[in-house]
């Protein structure tokens, strides 16, 4: 059963495995507290957007009260913090804490995509376009601290400019601006304000590019989660309002500083190492991040292929593909349909969800005729049917069960036992529901178990949602009404949930033997050659 494994066998693979285990453990705990719909770890990207909007709205208010200028800047921030604490102060705190939230979210989101191996192969683009986001967020945050012009700003300003001066690319040393009160230039403050506003706008543009290969991206956090997050920020704003240090004074060295560890962790490094070393560290880190999808590259499965003779242009595959890899084009052959599906191979991750959605993908067809409109060349539906029949032939006993699983979720190979057979898939939604009908109506097994990633968090983004909807009859191709639902069990579980899967199957089998026979005479109508009768459809 082919399973995707981590990068190579070295340090990265070990790191990835440990991180994945840690995420799955914490996610299971959060599932219990919040439920899967509100689990923050399942909506990190959407939460990032939420923080972005809070930063933007609070930033607009703060900007209205802000005065650019070496003395005016500090005074205007003090005014909003002290005199207008109930609104200006709260807005300043929201601006600060939501910016911190964004860094936290971004770091965890990035680590999680790495841990779950969702950054290589066709997904390299989304990863690589995420890297400049890191820089832009830091540029926006650091210039924000600078604008307050207190002692922390003075420290950040001098360290940052000396850091840039080390590169020697500016005509004159920009740190000179900060050496004495006389050389400090108001125009430099205007430039900072400009950078502080342009960086988040650029960030929005890069985020848009970031999501170009993600179909129907989740950019809005669930309402309850958004409300809870906002409440948390407001409570924080009241119990620990953001405040300034004493005003900057270029004649003195700043005293004790409270660093924001989300934005300013590089500054203590500058105190201990040379500026050149910190540049080297930032450069190597950025390069490593950019190169990560190819360290080593993923062996990419062959992209899904369209078989025009079997494609009626229904669009289901294009609607179900989570990675925008299918477009509908005008018909190029003589068949009487308006459109045909077309796969962009470079975007395809080989999840097989399209094959699972195609109305022509039904095992009830004759062996020679099982050719779906779209299929995975390396894990085709005819091969799947052969595998199911072979597994079924090896089952014995009263409660024979076939378990379908996803390569990226709880492994199913370890559940194989007497009376239980396992079949792996690249995604659970690669299974056309007609296969379940086929198994039960042909008496190949007494029950079918469908497993895939934990609910709310599918490796292939929509596999679990689409499968649930097909089983519930709310998305084509749906599981036919004639299929006895008590004989179908769904278990959504991650790789850490092996014991839970075993327990669920053990509890399912006795229930099967208590059910009335679903095939009283054990006879099923012979398959009509070439007929497409296995999958339900709303079409
Ligand atoms: C403010 C920062 C960021 C925001 C708001 C953001 C937002 C998002 C969103 C909304 C998605 C789609 C989630 C879905 O619907 O399945 C996504 C996917 C992704 N992000 Fe980010 N992202 C950010 C930063 C980053 C960074 C820094 C990286 C890594 C360097 C990154 C790597 C990825 C990857 C690899 C995916 C694709 C996952 C997949 O193919 O299933 N993101 N991001
Ligand atoms: S789902 Fe099948 S029939 Fe429909 S457009 Fe896609 S390949 Fe063609
Ligand atoms: S296998 Fe199909 S659904 Fe999956 S990415 Fe490729 S074209 Fe899209």
In this structure, are 333 and 460 located in the same domain?
Answer: yes
Q: What are phi and psi of 447, to 5 degrees?
A: -150, 155
Question: Residue 534: its pLDDT value, please?
Answer: 43
Measured CA distances, 345 to 20, 256, 305 (Å): 28, 57, 9
CATH of the domain at 96: 1.20.810.10
Q: Which residue, judged by its Cα, is nearest atom 31 of ligand 1?
A: 130
| Residue from 302, 320, 322, 325 whose mutation best tests the ligand 3 pocket (most atoms within 8 A of CB) | 325
Would 515 be classed as within a structural domain? yes
Question: Residue 252: its pLDDT value, please?
Answer: 83
In this structure, are 128 and 215 located in the same domain?
Answer: yes
Question: Cβ(48) to ligand 2 under 6 A?
Answer: no
Q: How far is the CA of 234 from the centre of ligand 3 (A)?
A: 42
Contact 320, 341 (CB under 8 A): no
Q: Which of 410, 416, 413 is nearest to 490 (CA)?
A: 410
In this structure, are 287 and 404 located in the same domain?
Answer: no
Would 6 be classed as within a structural domain? no
Task: Compute the Cα dihedral for 360, 365, 366, 367 and give only its sign.
Answer: positive
Contact 74, 250 (CB under 8 A): no
| Residue from 304, 343, 458 whose mutation best tests the ligand 3 pocket (most atoms within 8 A of CB) | 304
Contact 247, 74 (CB under 8 A): yes
Q: Can you tell me the distance from the alpha carbon of 93 to that of 55, in angstroms, rounded to the nearest whole number? A: 10
- DSSP calls for 345-397: GGG-----HHHHH-TT--TTS-GGG---SEE-SSS-HHHHHHHHHHHHHT--S
Q: Which domain holds residue 434?
A: 305-537
Q: Give the CA angle between residues 65, 70, 75 to the nearest 5°.
A: 40
Would 347 be classed as within a structural domain? yes
In this structure, are 236 and 347 located in the same domain?
Answer: no
In this structure, are 328 and 441 located in the same domain?
Answer: yes
Taking the model in full, what pTM does it have? 0.91
Domain end, chosen from 262, 293, 324, is at 293
Q: Which residues are bridge partners to 262 per DSSP?
A: none
Residue found under tokens 């000179």: 176
User: Which pairs count as long-range contacts for 157-166, CB under 8 Å and 24+ apart, including other chains?
Assistant: 157/248, 159/267, 159/270, 159/271, 162/270, 162/275, 163/270, 163/275, 163/278, 163/279, 166/275, 166/276, 166/279
**Site residues for ligand 1, CB cut-off 6 Å:** 45-46, 48-49, 102, 106, 109-110, 113, 118-119, 123, 126-127, 130-131, 133-134, 207, 210-211, 214, 217-219, 289, 461
Would 171 be classed as within a structural domain? yes
Question: Cβ(81) to ligand 2 under 6 A?
Answer: no
Q: How far is the CA of 210 from the centre of ligand 1 (A)?
A: 7
Q: Which residue, judged by its Cα, is nearest atom 6 of ligand 3?
A: 348
In this structure, are 345 and 396 located in the same domain?
Answer: yes
* Run means of pLDDT, 10 residues per run, the chain, 539 residues: 54 93 96 93 97 98 91 93 97 98 98 96 97 97 93 92 86 70 74 94 98 97 96 98 93 84 90 93 96 90 96 97 98 95 97 97 77 95 95 93 96 89 97 97 96 93 97 96 96 93 96 84 42 43
Q: Can you tell me the distance from the alpha carbon of 144 to that of 193, in angstroms, rounded to the nearest whole number? A: 8
Q: Is the peptide bond before 477 cis (omega within 30 degrees of 0)?
A: yes
Domain end, chosen from 236, 266, 293, is at 293
Would 4 be classed as within a structural domain? no
**Residue 217 per-residue DSSP state:** -
Q: What share of the chain is helix, strand, coil (3-state, %, to 5)?
A: 55, 5, 40
Question: Residue 381: its pLDDT value, please?
Answer: 95
Q: Which residue, judged by its Cα, is nearest atom 2 of ligand 1?
A: 106
Domain end, chosen from 263, 293, 323, is at 293
Would 1 be classed as within a structural domain? no
In this structure, are 492 and 388 located in the same domain?
Answer: yes
In this structure, are 326 and 192 located in the same domain?
Answer: no
Contact 304, 350 (CB under 8 A): yes
Question: Cβ(90) to ligand 3 under 6 A?
Answer: no
Contact 27, 41 (CB under 8 A): yes
Q: How far is the CA of 316 from the centre of ligand 2 (A)?
A: 6
Structure tokens that stand for 159 in this block: 């360290």
Would 481 be classed as within a structural domain? yes
Question: Cβ(348) to ligand 2 under 6 A?
Answer: no
Q: Can you tell me the distance from the alpha carbon of 390 to that of 196, in angstroms, rounded to the nearest whole number? A: 63
Q: Which residues contact 352 (CB under 8 A, 6 or more apart)?
A: 304, 376, 379, 425, 426, 427, 429, 430
Q: How far is the CA of 219 from the centre of ligand 1 (A)?
A: 10
Question: How many residues are there in the chain?
Answer: 539
Q: Can you tell me the distance from the alpha carbon of 114 to that of 416, in angstroms, rounded to the nearest whole number? A: 30
Question: Cβ(374) to ligand 2 under 6 A?
Answer: yes
In this structure, are 238 and 315 located in the same domain?
Answer: no
Q: Can you tell me the distance from the alpha carbon of 403 to that of 506, in angstroms, rounded to the nearest whole number? A: 12
In this structure, are 311 and 362 located in the same domain?
Answer: yes
In this structure, are 219 and 312 located in the same domain?
Answer: no
Q: Which atom of ligand 1 is nearest to the CA of 102?
A: 1
In this structure, are 215 and 314 located in the same domain?
Answer: no
Question: Cβ(306) to ligand 3 under 6 A?
Answer: no
Contact 61, 96 (CB under 8 A): no
Q: Which residue, judged by its Cα, is nearest atom 6 of ligand 1?
A: 45
Q: Half-sphere exposure of 218 toward its Cβ, with a 13 Å CA cutoff?
A: 19
Q: Which residue, judged by its Cα, is nearest atom 7 of ligand 1?
A: 45
Would 35 be classed as within a structural domain? no
Number of domains in the chain: 2
Contact 163, 270 (CB under 8 A): yes
Q: Which of 355, 412, 300, 301 is nearest to 1 (CA)?
A: 412
| Residue from 335, 358, 381, 433 whose mutation best tests the ligand 2 pocket (most atoms within 8 A of CB) | 358
| Residue from 307, 308, 315, 356 whose mutation best tests the ligand 2 pocket (most atoms within 8 A of CB) | 315
Contact 407, 4 (CB under 8 A): yes
| Region label for 305, one of left (φ > 0), alpha (ψ between -120 and 50) or beta (otherwise) | beta
């Amino acid at each position: 059963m082919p399973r995707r494994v981590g990068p190579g066998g070295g340090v990265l693979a070990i790191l990835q495995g440990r991180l994945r285990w840690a995420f799955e453990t914490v996610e299971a705990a959060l599932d219990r507290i919040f439920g899967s719909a509100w689990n923050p770890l399942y909506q990190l990207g959407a939460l990032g957007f939420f923080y972005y909007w809070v930063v933007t709205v609070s930033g607009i208010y703060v900007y209205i009260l802000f005065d650019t200028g070496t003395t005016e800047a500090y005074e205007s921030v003090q005014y909003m913090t002290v005199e207008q604490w109930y609104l200006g102060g709260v807005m300043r705190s929201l601006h600060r804490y939501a910016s911190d939230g964004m860094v936290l979210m971004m770091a965890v989101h990035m680590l999680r995509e790495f841990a779950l191996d969702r950054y290589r192969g066709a997904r390299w683009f989304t990863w690589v376009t995420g890297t400049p986001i890191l820089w832009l967020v830091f540029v926006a945050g650091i210039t924000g601290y600078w604008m307050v012009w207190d002692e922390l700003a003075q420290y950040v300003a001098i360290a940052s400019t000396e850091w840039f001066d080390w590169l020697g690319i500016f005509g004159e040393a920009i740190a000179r601006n900060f050496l004495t009160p006389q050389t400090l230039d108001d125009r430099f403050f205007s430039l900072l304000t400009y950078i502080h506003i342009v960086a988040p706008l650029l960030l929005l543009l890069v985020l848009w590019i970031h999501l170009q290969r993600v179909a129907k991206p989740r950019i809005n956090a669930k309402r309850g989660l958004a409300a809870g997050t906002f409440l948390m920020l407001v409570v924080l704003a009241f119990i620990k309002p953001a405040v300034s240090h004493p005003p900057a004074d270029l004649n003195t060295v700043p005293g004790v500083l409270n660093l924001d560890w989300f934005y300013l962790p590089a500054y203590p490094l500058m105190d201990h190492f040379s500026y050149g070393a910190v540049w080297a560290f930032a450069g190597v880190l950025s390069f490593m991040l950019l190169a990560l999808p190819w360290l080593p590259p993923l062996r990419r499965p062959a992209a899904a292929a369209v078989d025009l003779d079997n494609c009626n242009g229904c669009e289901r595959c294009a609607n179900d593909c989570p990675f925008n890899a299918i477009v509908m084009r005008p018909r190029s052959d003589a068949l009487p349909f308006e459109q045909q599906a077309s796969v962009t191979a470079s975007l395809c991750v080989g999840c097989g969800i399209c094959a699972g959605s195609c109305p022509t993908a039904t095992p009830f067809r004759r062996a020679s005729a099982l050719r779906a409109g779209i299929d995975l060349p390396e894990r085709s539906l005819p091969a799947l049917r052969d595998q199911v029949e072979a597994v079924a032939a090896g089952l014995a006993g009263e409660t024979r069960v076939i378990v379908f699983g996803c390569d990226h979720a709880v492994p199913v190979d370890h559940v194989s036992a007497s009376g239980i057979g396992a079949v792996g898939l690249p995604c659970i939604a690669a299974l056309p529901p007609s296969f379940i009908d086929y198994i039960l109506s042909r008496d190949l097994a007494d029950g079918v178990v469908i497993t895939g990633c934990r609910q709310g968090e599918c490796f292939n983004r929509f596999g679990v949602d689409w499968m649930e909807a097909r089983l519930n009859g709310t998305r084509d191709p749906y599981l036919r009404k004639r299929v006895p639902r008590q004989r179908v069990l769904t278990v959504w579980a991650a790789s850490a949930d092996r014991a839970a899967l075993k327990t669920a199957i053990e509890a399912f089998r006795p229930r099967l033997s208590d059910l009335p026979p679903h095939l009283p005479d054990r006879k099923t109508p012979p398959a009509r050659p070439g007929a497409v009768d296995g999958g339900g459809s709303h079409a």
